[in-house]
A and B are shown apart, each in its own frame.
Chain A
Amino acid sequence: MSFSDFFANLRRYNENAAVIFDHAEPIGRATDLVMPRRRWFDRRDRRKILRPLESAPQSERS
């Protein structure tokens, strides 16, 4: 087996990590974000934290 074959096998083996994901709960979608913002965040901090989350697709419980 050549080095390139060996590394190709490793990459294929690494794909097994995706077994727990599927079409309904795909890679890239969080599944359990339920905690609210902390009460003592002011409006500026709130926007800073929530902006990346709001741009991500809404997650659903399955």
Chain B
Amino acid sequence: MSQPAALTQESPLGDVEVTTSDVERVERALIDASTRLPVLVFYASAIAWLLVATLFGVLTSFKMHVPGFLGDVSFLTLGRVRPAHLNAIIYGWGSMAGMGTSIWLMARLCRTTLRHPLLLISGAAFWNLGVLMGIVGILLGDSTGYEWLEFPASSAITLFVAYLLIMTWALIMFRYRRRGHVYITQWYLLGAFLWFPWLYAAAQVMLFILPVEGVMQAAVNWWFANNLLFLWFGSIGLGTAYYMIPKVIGRPVHSYYLATIGFWTFALFSSWTGMQRLVDGPFPAWMITASIAATILTIVPVATVGLNHHMTMRGYFPLMRYSPTLRFTVFGAIAYSAFSVVGVIISLRSMARIVQFTEASVGYTYMGLYAFFTMVIFGSMYYIVPRLVGREWRYASLIKLHFWGSAYGIGLMVLLLLVGGFAQGLSLNDPTLPFSEITDTVMPYLRGRTLSWILLTVSHLVFAFHFGLMLLGFGRTASVPTFLNPLEREPGEGH
């Protein structure tokens, strides 16, 4: 009997070898592809609102030293333009850009493709509608008068509905994440997604639905405003920095244990702040003191975060020349530490008596909102957008113009407002000075602020243009970063 022929089986792919790296690359590409539309919708909306907020910001700043400018146009008076600017930057730019970055980070860290994109796109549409209704309402004179809560009731309801859609998505994503350790960024983002509805709902109920009486309204108002800065923007910013810095330099966070301590102390102490903005007001002394103490205690999470980031970056700072993400994120991380230190200083009673109700308070807010949060988000956008559209940013010169315009703009603004606010406060506390003379003291600083807003306007326009190029498919096609190779030159550029 003849021997049976040996059976051979060929691999259907021939001699192709699939490595673990290839599988991970494909998986990552699938995740990025699934997040493309929702994240770009959020980013495009955010940038549009950033331009609107910038326009109102320039106008507000100009009116502070030229009060008669457009004074006979009712919807452009300072009392309407300023809240329109603040709310556009908080709910239009900050919240939408933060949510866009959070969506991408959650998808990547949960290691699963984005589910239910329609929830997010509907959320974005309702959020845009809510912000539009709110801004128009403020300009038409329908502002509530509460700081950072000026949107009329119809807009607030729309925003809340939009947020519920987005939060539902976040919880579903987390529920269906791939098993494994939950990274510190996810803790911060989940915290932010749960803290925001609590803050917003509590403020809406206590100020509008079942309003508290008398001065407690001011207490609720400042509790909300301060906590929004810390627990919403601060959480998203810190979570983003904890991902971007290690990921860009290719080095894990220096001490994960320290990062955990930072998160829990941040969650514990931040929610008690807010009343330090009302020092010497008609409130129970314990409320103010508790907030001052909590603000001082926020030095603990700030120190842990700052130390962790610094030790992670040690030896890698020169890479900031080559990565826009790193450049913006590290600037924001340093600004976070400075913001917290300034916050502690101006919350002390002796200092608060001087700088309260002055431009210093405005400068402190912009430190948190722009110098820290916005710069970190810019960095995240420079990282995320190429991965969504499959192209590199086209012009490094525009990136540098954006960075230096923003850095100098916000640096100048914060410096002028803090110093000017201090000078203003000293003058206000001098009973011999007439009010007109006090106003003259602060005028140069306000004019300087307008100059800083011009710098910021240029940088925002540059960024919006560059982002538009990416959206329209005019980014650079490359599978590797092109600018590191010293032999290659960009067409038309002399680098």
Contacts and interface: CB of A to CB of B under 8 A. Distances in A.
Interface of A: 10, 13-39, 46, 49-50, 53-54, 58-62
Contact of B257 (A13, A26, A38): A13
B21 A32 contact: no
B323 A22 contact: no
Which 7 residue pairs of A and B lie closest in terms of their CB atoms, listed nearest first? A17-B252, A36-B495, A36-B483, A17-B256, A24-B24, A33-B322, A24-B21
A9 B470 CA distance: 46
B250 A30 contact: yes
A35 B183 contact: no
B116 interface: no
Given A17-B252, A59-B480, A34 B183 contact: no
B115 interface: no
A9 B243 CA distance: 23
A32 B248 contact: yes
Given A20-B246, A34-B481, A34-B482, 5 more contacts: A13-B256, A25-B24, A30-B249, A61-B387, A61-B481
A58 B321 CA distance: 16
Contacts, number: 137
Contacts of A37: 321, 486, 495
A34 B322 contact: yes
B392 interface: yes
Contacts of A22: 20-21, 24
24 contacts: A13-B260, A15-B256, A19-B181, A20-B247, A24-B25, A32-B248, A32-B383, A32-B481, A34-B323, A34-B393, A34-B396, A35-B396, A35-B483, A36-B396, A36-B483, A36-B493, A38-B495, A39-B494, A39-B495, A50-B486, A53-B322, A58-B484, A59-B481, A60-B479
B93 to A, nearest CB: 23
Nearest to A34: B481
Contacts of B22: 24
Contact of A46 (B28, B480, B486): B486
A15 B256 CA distance: 8
A37 B383 CA distance: 19
A38 B400 CA distance: 10
A20 B243 contact: yes
A33 B183 contact: no
A62 B250 contact: no
A20 B108 CA distance: 9
B318 interface: yes
A28 B250 contact: yes
Given A19-B183, A20-B243, A33 B323 contact: yes
A19 B53 CA distance: 38
Contact of B324 (A10, A20, A21, A34): A34
A1 to B, nearest CB: 16
Nearest to A52: B318
